[in-house]
Amino acid sequence: MASNSNLKIRDVRADDAGAIIEIFRSSVRNIARQDYTHEQVLAWAPDEIDITGWEGYATRRAFIAEDEKGPAGFADLEDDGHVQMMYVHPRCQGKGVASALLSHLESVARSLGVQEIYTEASITARLFFERRGFQLVEQQLVSTRGQNFINFRMKKQLLST
């Protein structure tokens, strides 16, 4: 994995909604399609995404990673340690963006006194999370827009630093 020393992570702002939708849609459609059917990918990341719903994302504990070319990825952390979303733009795959975002989330979680973080990883993301110390809790079947998806509930104990 190549390191990206020019990567900056900052809080998401309301005006990041368009960039976040682009990262989300392109990541699902170009990366996750390896593990999901065309119909599943379109249900997960449809053509029409309501930007107003994503503008509210800035009110969450959400972070965006930027490199010299612009937005590279984003992730969030809920109060209970839930990593609900983490997506990296296809042009940035394998450049350490997801690792940098996860390290940032872990640091934030520790500062909040959270001792365990967890996520529902896609088939595509499962190996990444396993390599970062997450353990499989259970395989799940979830439904979105009429399509069923397999994902994996995973957790990681955070060690005090």
Helix or strand run (H / E) with residue 27: helix 17-30
- Helix or strand or coil: residue 22? helix
pLDDT tens digit sequence for 130-143: 999 999 999 999 99
Kindly state the average pLDDT of the residues 112-131: 97
pLDDT tens digit sequence for 43-84: 999 888 777 777 677 778 999 999 999 999 999 999 999 999
Q: How confident is the model at residue 5 (pLDDT cuts 50, 70, 90)?
A: low
DSSP states of 83-137 = E--EEE-GGGTTTTHHHHHHHHHHHHHHHTT--EEEEEEEHHHHHHHHHTT-EEE
Q: How confident is the model at residue 8 (pLDDT cuts 50, 70, 90)?
A: very high
Domain ranges of the chain: 8-114
Kindly state the average pLDDT of the residues 37-41: 94
| Confidence check: pLDDT of 118 > 50 | yes
Q: Which residue has the higher pLDDT, 50 or 96?
A: 96
Q: How confident is the model at residue 161 (pLDDT cuts 50, 70, 90)?
A: low
| Residue 127 backbone dihedrals phi, psi, to 5 degrees | -60, -40
| Confidence check: pLDDT of 2 > 50 | no
**152 contact partners, CB below 8 Å, separation of at least 6:** 120, 121, 122, 123, 126, 129, 136, 137, 138, 139, 140
Tokens of 161: 């630093």
Average pLDDT, rounded, for the chain: 92
- Helix or strand or coil: residue 145? coil
**136 contact partners, CB below 8 Å, separation of at least 6:** 126, 130, 152, 153, 154
Q: Which of 19, 14, 96 is nearest to 56 (CA)?
A: 14
Q: How far apart are CA 98 and CA 22, in angstroms?
A: 16
Helix or strand run (H / E) with residue 40: helix 38-44
| CATH dotted code for 8-114 | 3.40.630.30
Q: How many CB atoms lie within 10 A of CB 57?
A: 19
| Confidence check: pLDDT of 101 > 80 | yes
* pLDDT-above-70 percentage for the chain: 94
